[in-house]
């Protein structure tokens, strides 16, 4: 697979929710239009339209998996539970 071909089978989406604070957090590992890997982060309140987002470039798919593990660890520490 060259760098400009998207491999949709490798893309990942994770979501956490915190029922106590009524908040959610999502992380997606995907490729952008140029075939580079990135982590897309989104967060906000459950039941309202408040929230934000951020996109971070990662060097490779494997680097992205490491970043997702770090995000998951942080969400668990903050009382979130994974819902998908």
Q: Which token pair is 81?
A: 């539970």
pLDDT at 3 exceeding the cut of 60:
no
Distance, in Å, from the CA atom of 20 to the CA atom of 67, rounded to the nearest integer, reads 25
3-state SS, one letter per residue, for 5-52: CCCHHHCEEEEEEECCCCEEEEEEEEECCCCCEEEEEEEEECCCCCEE
pLDDT at 7 exceeding the cut of 50:
yes
Q: What is the DSSP letter of 59?
A: S
What pLDDT score was predicted for residue 41? 98
**37-81 confidence digits (pLDDT tens):** 999 999 999 989 899 999 999 999 999 999 999 999 999 999 999
Element (H, E) at 82: strand 81-82
**8 band by pLDDT with thresholds 50, 70 and 90:** confident
What pLDDT score was predicted for residue 1? 47
Question: Is the full-model pTM beyond 0.75?
Answer: yes
Fold of 12-82: Nuclear Transport Factor 2; Chain: A, (3.10.450)
Q: What value, to the nearest 5°, has the Cα angle with vertex 81 and ends 75 and 82?
A: 90
């Amino acid at each position: 697979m060259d760098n400009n071909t998207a491999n949709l089978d490798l893309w990942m989406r994770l979501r956490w929710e915190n029922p106590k604070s009524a908040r959610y957090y999502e992380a997606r590992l995907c490729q952008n239009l140029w075939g580079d890997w990135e982590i897309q982060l989104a967060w906000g309140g459950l039941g309202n339209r408040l929230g934000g987002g951020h996109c971070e470039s990662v060097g490779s798919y494997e680097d992205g998996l490491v970043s997702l593990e770090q995000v998951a660890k942080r969400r668990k520490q903050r009382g979130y539970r994974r819902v998908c």
